[in-house]
């Protein structure tokens, strides 16, 4: 009787989530099919930038460029200050998940994926330690896109600069200018060394994971659980085009195409120390430890890439959003919140924040009352919480599980359970992909899948006959699983994540404004 009720409850939960997920995805697909404007810009800022600036944006990366375009389209006068306007050469932000592509389309920026030899990613192959593979696709035939980061950024910058009310300047912002507890603008240095000041009603900081301004605007508690070692597998006949790989063996390796003849390959090296590149230790580590774990179809290209020597590394930083609301200033992108890069969710979170901020600013016609705007924008942090939590927590959970040692049988069981759970297909793998890709970033869905996986792992251990040893491993597994998920929940804030409507700031309405003096760029 009791078992029957439990089974019915679980079944109900599964049906509920699969239908909720599908509804969200359908809604997103509707948005994706919206037509967007073609960019007419050439990347040069227009001269008719008369009058005061409404918004200064620090940093023209993914978040800054997209935000500049979105706000200028809504008629705000925007000045963007970017340290280096040449095409970035970085090993970050190369895979935009399906959810991020939809956000890009909502911003009218999807044509920034054209003309850069970007690749369509339809599915992921999860490769198990013993060589087994499970193919998981984005739900509802959605797809992600992968590309050279720098090419995509230049497209976004060009598109923003094509609007007459965007002024794109090259300079390094050195500090925020504060007056009576309110941020009035920034000081920045041009390439020629000239010190300049810029002022605006609102300064939005989007200056990356290395932000030197965030210490004024949030609690910058950053964790570096691992490094990504990046290689490009070149001139390679793609084994299965449109597919990314999650190789979940002793090391985590992620690969995806970034052009028609290049594959990005990231190897996760846990811990704060990594073998040095300069003395060849890294190459030897990659050849002896990582190469034997590569699928046969990628092995030769991987070895060639190591021999070629273009090995680069990036720290994987994690920082949940912990802002200190400050009148006149705001933060989005990596300067506000960083998920672990293992699931490639950073740009999706950033673009989703851009959409949210644009929508919050839309009903306003004046940003000059900094205190009132600051209070109003506090709702942003609550509104973004569910999406940010789902993406942050999934990335951290996956990294913690798969980077842990196999010496501990409970951790090993967890990895097995994850892999087998994915292999179940249907609502199980689709639900996880919908979370990972940002198509259904629902915290309850994440919690459901975490507990379902835990239940699956315990079931695998205890059925058909629970021995004392297996019961002991199962108990350790439950403890280890809770030890992973609860600290992440705590860091993100349980109330704001699961019950955002109970937080006062959730209900803020736009401050009363008198005149409509905003020039419209629409």
**Contact region with ligand FAD (CB under 6 A), list: 13-21, 54-62, 410-418, 495-503:** 54-62
Q: Taking each helix axis from N to C terminus, what angle separates 385-403 and 346-361, rounded to the nearest 10 degrees? A: 170
C-beta of 58 vs 414, nearer to ligand FAD: 58
Q: CB 348 → ligand FAD: shortest distance, Å?
A: 5
C-beta of 23 vs 84, nearer to ligand FAD: 84
Q: CB 488 → ligand FAD: shortest distance, Å?
A: 18
Name the one residue in this structure whose structure tokens are 């389309």: 105
| Helical H segments across 173-280, by residue range | none
Q: CB 278 → ligand FAD: shortest distance, Å?
A: 20
| Helical H segments across 463-506, by residue range | 468-492, 494-498
Instruction: Say how many residues make up the chain.
Output: 522
Contact 169, 189 (CB under 8 A): no
**Contact region with ligand FAD (CB under 6 A), list: 279-287, 343-351, 356-364, 391-399:** 343-351
Residues in Cβ contact with 428 at an 8 Å cutoff, skipping those fewer than 6 apart: 421, 422, 449, 452
User: Nearest CA to 217 among 368, 360, 377?
Assistant: 377
Token pair for residue 157? 């910058």
Which of positions 305-334 make contact with ligand FAD (CB under 6 A)? 314, 316, 333-334
Token pair for residue 31? 């948005």
Token pair for residue 84? 């280096």
Q: Judged by CB under 6 A, which of 17, 228, 402, 428 binds ligand FAD?
A: 228
How many C-beta atoms lie closer than 10 Å to residue 223's C-beta? Answer: 15
Judged by DSSP in three states, 211 sits in: coil
Decide if residue 347 touches ligand FAD (CB under 6 A). Answer: yes
How many C-beta atoms lie closer than 10 Å to residue 111's C-beta? Answer: 15
C-beta of 270 vs 350, nearer to ligand FAD: 350
Decide if residue 105 touches ligand FAD (CB under 6 A). Answer: no
Per-residue x/- mask for ligand FAD, residues 131 to 150, rule CB under 6 A? --------------------
Paired with 316 in beta bridges are 226
C-beta of 61 vs 270, nearer to ligand FAD: 61
Half-sphere exposure of 423 (CA within 13 A, CB side): 12
Which of positions 74-93 make contact with ligand FAD (CB under 6 A)? 81-84, 91-93
Decide if residue 61 touches ligand FAD (CB under 6 A). Answer: yes
Q: Judged by CB under 6 A, which of 45, 62, 253, 473 binds ligand FAD?
A: 62
**Contact region with ligand FAD (CB under 6 A), list: 19-27, 30-38, 338-346, 449-457:** 338-346
C-beta of 438 vs 500, nearer to ligand FAD: 438
C-beta of 96 vs 427, nearer to ligand FAD: 96
User: Nearest CA to 423 among 196, 133, 220?
Assistant: 133
Q: Any idea what DSSP says for residue 1?
A: -
User: How far is residue 43's CA from residue 51's CA, in Å, rounded to a whole number?
Assistant: 21
Q: Phi and psi at residue 35, in whole multiples of 5°?
A: -75, 145
Decide if residue 353 touches ligand FAD (CB under 6 A). Answer: no
Decide if residue 156 touches ligand FAD (CB under 6 A). Answer: no
Contact 347, 220 (CB under 8 A): no
By beta carbon distance, the residue nearest ligand FAD is 61
**Contact region with ligand FAD (CB under 6 A), list: 125-133, 159-167, 201-209, 392-400:** 201-209
Token pair for residue 342? 């293992």
Decide if residue 346 touches ligand FAD (CB under 6 A). Answer: yes
Angle value at C-alpha 303, between 298 and 308, nearest 5 degrees: 125
Q: CB 482 → ligand FAD: shortest distance, Å?
A: 28
How many C-beta atoms lie closer than 10 Å to residue 107's C-beta? Answer: 21
Decide if residue 60 touches ligand FAD (CB under 6 A). Answer: yes
Binding residues with ligand FAD: total (CB under 6 A): 36
Decide if residue 64 touches ligand FAD (CB under 6 A). Answer: yes
Decide if residue 270 touches ligand FAD (CB under 6 A). Answer: no
Q: CB 364 → ligand FAD: shortest distance, Å?
A: 23
User: How far is residue 197's CA from residue 431's CA, in Å, rounded to a whole number?
Assistant: 49
C-beta of 125 vs 444, nearer to ligand FAD: 125
Angle value at C-alpha 231, between 393 and 268, nearest 5 degrees: 30
**Contact region with ligand FAD (CB under 6 A), list: 7-15, 341-349, 425-433, 512-520:** 341-349
Decide if residue 350 touches ligand FAD (CB under 6 A). Answer: yes
Footprint on this chain of ligand FAD (rule: CB under 6 A): 58-64, 81-84, 91-96, 172-173, 206-208, 212, 228, 314, 316, 333-335, 341, 344-348, 350
């Amino acid at each position: 009787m009791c078992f029957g009720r439990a089974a019915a409850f679980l079944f109900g939960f599964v049906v509920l989530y699969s239908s909720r997920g599908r509804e969200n995805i359908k809604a997103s697909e509707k948005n994706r099919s919206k037509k967007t404007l073609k960019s007419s810009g050439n990347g040069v800022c227009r001269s008719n930038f008369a009058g005061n600036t409404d918004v200064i944006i620090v940093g023209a990366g993914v978040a800054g460029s997209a935000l500049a375009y979105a706000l200028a389209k809504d008629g705000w006068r925007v000045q963007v200050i970017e340290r280096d306007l040449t095409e970035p050469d970085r090993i970050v932000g190369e895979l935009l998940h399906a959810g991020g592509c939809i956000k890009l389309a909502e911003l009218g920026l999807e044509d920034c994926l054209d003309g850069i030899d970007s690749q369509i990613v339809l599915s992921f192959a999860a490769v198990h330690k013993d060589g087994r593979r499970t193919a998981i696709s984005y739900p509802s035939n959605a797809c992600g896109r992968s590309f050279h980061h720098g090419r995509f950024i230049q497209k976004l910058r060009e598109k923003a600069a094509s609007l007459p009310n965007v002024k794109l300047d090259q300079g390094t912002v050195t500090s925020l200018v504060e007056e009576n507890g309110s941020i009035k603008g920034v000081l920045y240095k041009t390439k020629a060394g000239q010190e300049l000041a810029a002022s605006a009603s609102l300064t939005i900081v989007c200056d990356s994971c290395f932000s030197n301004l965030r210490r004024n605007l949030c609690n910058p508690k950053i964790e570096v659980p691992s490094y990504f070692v990046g290689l490009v597998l070149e001139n390679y006949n793609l084994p299965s085009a449109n597919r990314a790989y999650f190789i979940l063996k002793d090391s985590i390796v992620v690969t995806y195409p970034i052009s028609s003849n290049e594959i990005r390959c990231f190897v996760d090296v846990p811990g704060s120390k990594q073998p040095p590149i300069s003395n060849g230790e890294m190459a030897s580590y990659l050849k002896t430890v990582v190469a034997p774990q590569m699928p046969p179809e990628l092995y030769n290209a991987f070895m060639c890439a190591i021999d070629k020597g273009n090995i680069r590394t990036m720290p994987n930083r994690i920082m949940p959003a912990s802002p200190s609301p400050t009148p006149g200033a705001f933060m989005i992108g990596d300067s506000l919140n960083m998920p672990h890069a293992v699931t490639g969710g950073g740009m999706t979170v950033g673009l989703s924040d851009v959409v949210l901020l644009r929508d919050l600013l839309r009903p306003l016609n004046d940003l000059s009352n900094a205190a009132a705007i600051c209070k109003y924008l506090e709702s942003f942090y609550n509104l973004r919480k569910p999406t940010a939590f789902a993406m942050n927590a999934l990335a951290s959970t996956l990294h913690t599980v798969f980077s842990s040692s196999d010496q501990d049988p409970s951790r090993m069981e967890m990895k097995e359970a994850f892999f087998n759970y994915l292999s179940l297909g249907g609502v199980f793998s689709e639900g996880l992909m919908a979370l990972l890709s940002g198509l259904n970033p629902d915290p309850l869905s994440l919690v459901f899948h975490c507990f379902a996986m835990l239940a699956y792992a315990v079931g695998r251990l205890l059925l058909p006959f629970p021995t004392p040893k297996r019961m002991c491993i199962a108990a350790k597994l439950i403890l280890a699983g809770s030890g992973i998920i609860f600290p992440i929940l705590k860091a993100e804030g349980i109330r704001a994540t699961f019950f955002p409507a109970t937080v006062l700031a959730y209900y803020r309405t736009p401050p009363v404004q008198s005149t409509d003096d905003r020039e419209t760029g629409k």
